[in-house]
Amino acid sequence: MYRGRLKRDLDDWVGRGMIDLATAERLLADVDQRGARFSIGSVLSMFAAVLIAASLLMLIAANWELIPRLVKVVGIIALIWIFHIAALIARSQDANRLAAGSLVLGAAAFGGAIALIGQAYHLSGDTFSAMFLWFVMTAISAALFRSGALAVATGVLSLATFAAGFDSFGWDLASHGLWAWWPLAGAAAIFALAYWTGANRAKHFGYCLLVAWIWWTTILDRSELYAFAVAMAGTLVFLALTLPASPLAALHRRLGASGSFYALVMALSGFAYFQGSALEAVTTAALGVMVLALSIAAIALDGRDNGAVRFLAYGAFAAEILYLSYETIDSILGTSAFFLLSGLVVALLAFVVIRLEKRFSRPVAEVKS
């Protein structure tokens, strides 16, 4: 997909005389030399590994009565070693897809071993403990093998472990004790694995884990004012990452599009929760103006280079307009006043953004010694 889009752009630039044909060919050859980022073969091989892993777990869950417990345990442990040794052999032969599939199967076999040993020997424990152990060991394996596939598997297991905590301890924050704080370390581990293995997409699981944890600990477990505080914090983080003059602008370039996107998700979702709980019309209207202003600011600051932020801001803007229209549909004058106020705010924001764009587009004067 990326290569096709790049080739069309290069052909267009050559046609308009912006670059010569030789340069376009060298650029395309460089992209081909790096290798495709998306491969149907890789996707199919991972699907095969996942399906085989699911089959393995289902067979283990069946708990065959005719097979002795010791044979079951020895067999599942042998499978773990076989899959990991197969991954080492495949990696030595540069068969990276086969190595990735074998590592995923090894991680699945380890999860099956936890379930089988607990089932066979009637060990006491809860779902969260088993899932957390599976998550930790998969993360260690991903780090040792420097496997992007296992980094993604670790991300998936982190979300499954987070959900298992509710099954074991309930929804009350106090009932989790210190375990309520493990997602912070889990997200940090996923970010580290994404960097270490080069699997940049795995970091999205870390962001999702953080967002889910913040929603649970700060919004769902507390009052609406905490939701507003989360929304303001998300807004400040987003602005700190995207404002050109911000000292964190360089960090934003290293993080890529995901950092500002998830900060905006946190801000908009916090505003939406607080607005949905608001009873007064004035509070609802004020929050609506804030959401609209934030949406436009997001498009102006980060929408050009960040498609995820752009579409999220468009969707939030449209949803907010529809929501406020529904809330004030019984009063034409009320709706008119709201749109007038929103128009003034948007006009003011547009004026500020235009002034900032002009200021930042000015060339920096050279300092002569």
Q: Which pLDDT tens digit goes with each residue over 339-355? A: 666 667 667 666 766 66
What distance lies between CA 8 and its chain's CA centroid? 30
Which of 304, 221, 308 has the alpha carbon at shortest distance from 264?
308
Counting residues of the chain whose pLDDT is more than 90, the rounded percentage is: 20
- 148 vs 63 pLDDT, higher one: 148
- 315 vs 325 pLDDT, higher one: 315
Counting residues of the chain whose pLDDT is more than 70, the rounded percentage is: 75
The pLDDT assigned to 187 comes to 94
* Single-letter amino acid code for the residue at 282: V
| Cβ-count burial 170-180 (b if 16+ within 10 Å, e if not) | eeeeeebeeeb
Asked if residue 73 lies in contact with residue 119, where contact means CB atoms within 8 angstroms, the answer is no
Q: Is the pLDDT of residue 331 over 90?
A: no
The pLDDT assigned to 167 comes to 87
Q: Render pLDDT for 72-122 as a digit per residue (tens, 0 to 9).
A: 778 778 878 888 898 888 888 877 777 888 888 888 888 878 877 776 666
Q: Is the pLDDT of residue 42 over 60?
A: no
Asked if residue 185 lies in contact with residue 156, where contact means CB atoms within 8 angstroms, the answer is no
The mean per-residue pLDDT over the stretch 195-204 comes to 88
pTM of the model: 0.74
Please provide the DSSP assignment of 98-154 as one string.
HHHHHHHHHHHHHHHHHHHHHHHTT----HHHHHHHHHHHHHHHHHHHT-HHHHHHH
Helices 96-120 and 69-92 sit at what angle, rounded to 10 degrees?
A: 170
Q: Is the pLDDT of residue 207 over 90?
A: yes
Compute CA distances 368 → 362, 363, 364, whole Å: 18, 15, 12
Q: How far apart are alpha carbons 188 and 339 in whole angstroms?
A: 43
The pLDDT assigned to 364 comes to 47
Tokens 């590994």 sit at which residue?
Answer: 49
